[in-house]
Structure 1
Amino acid sequence: MKTSTIAKSIAISTALAAALSASVLAQSGPVAGPGMGMGMGPGAGQMGPGARGMRGMRFDQTNTPGWTLMSAEERTANQTKMRAVKTYDECKVVQSEQHAVMETRAKEKNITLNAPRQNGCDVMKARGFIK
């Protein structure tokens, strides 16, 4: 009798663990590829127009003020513009324009924008993507 109760408990535990594991394994997510870096946020590793081989460079919610205030199309446009710059000064102009637009939107919605962890233009220059 005791053996069958233990066997039932093990069977129920195993079935529960399998059901919970299946839902986690079924969730699709980004898969790291060669040279894509640690951050796998939206847009990471995209090689669209203007990307110019910036595999490790990403523009996402952690380093783009106002990311959550932009539509998917605006995010893609911002990424493309940033990847298309060739000089540090050009990068700073694009970045300043984007920040101004996002500051305006944030004020309209009574939101304070988070500062990026690091300056994207500085990172791009340090990695040799721009001069």
Structure 2
Amino acid sequence: MRSRWLVMTLSGSLLLAAAFAAEARGPWRASEDNTRGWQFMTPEERVEHQARVRGFKTLDECRAYKQEHHRLMEQRAKEKGSAMPSGGRDICAHLKPAN
């Protein structure tokens, strides 16, 4: 009986830990597939970028950051003689009002 209780307690704890870990990651993860200029960012900048994008509360602040980020990445690409990839996901879309 005690071993069954222990297994149930451990299982519950693992489920809670997994739920909190998933919540901590948030809904969006920056990656080379969805972040313009990924190849021109340091690992630390990538982490900071992801945290900033997750933290925006208004569409205007998100758009201002996005514009500055793209300007900086285009500058880095030019310095390295590379072309900046176009397209990608709108990182501010989640802040647009629903119609």
Tell me the TM-score range normalised by the shorter chain: 0.5 to 0.7
Q: Counterpart in 1 of 2:85?
A: 114
Question: Which of 1 and 2 has higher RCO (CA within 8 Å, sep 6+)?
Answer: 2
Query: How much identity, in percent, do the aligned residues show?
Result: 33
Contact conserved, 2:36 with 2:88, CA < 8 A, in 1? no
Which segments of 5 or more consecutive residues in structure 1 lack a partner in the other structure?
1-32, 35-44, 48-53
Q: Counterpart in 2 of 1:83?
A: 54
Which whole-Å deviations, capped at 9, do the CAs of 1:42-77 have from their partners, x for residues lacking one? xxx682xxxxxx722122111211101111001011
- Relative distance call for 1:105 and 1:46 in structure 2 (3 A) is farther
TM-score (normalised: structure 2): 0.67
Q: Counterpart in 2 of 1:66?
A: 37
Q: Counterpart in 2 of 1:96?
A: 67
Contact conserved, 2:63 with 2:92, CA < 8 A, in 1? yes
Which amino acid in structure 2 is aligned with residue 100 of structure 1?
A: R
- Relative distance call for 1:90 and 1:109 in structure 2 (3 A) is same
Q: For residues 74 and 57 of structure 2, what CA distance do their matches in structure 1 show?
A: 25
Contact conserved, 1:91 with 1:121, CA < 8 A, in 2? yes
- SS of 1:115's equivalent in the other structure is coil
Q: For residues 66 and 88 of structure 2, what CA distance do their matches in structure 1 show?
A: 14
Q: For residues 60 and 77 of structure 1, what CA distance do their matches in structure 2 show?
A: 12
Structure with the larger helix share: 2
Which whole-Å deviations, capped at 9, do the CAs of 1:16-51 have from their partners, x for residues lacking one? xxxxxxxxxxxxxxxxx77xxxxxxxxxx682xxxx
Which segments of 5 or more consecutive residues in structure 2 lack a partner in the other structure?
1-17
Q: For residues 102 and 78 of structure 1, what CA distance do their matches in structure 2 show?
A: 12
TM-score (normalised: structure 1): 0.52
Q: Counterpart in 1 of 2:95?
A: 125
- SS of 1:117's equivalent in the other structure is coil
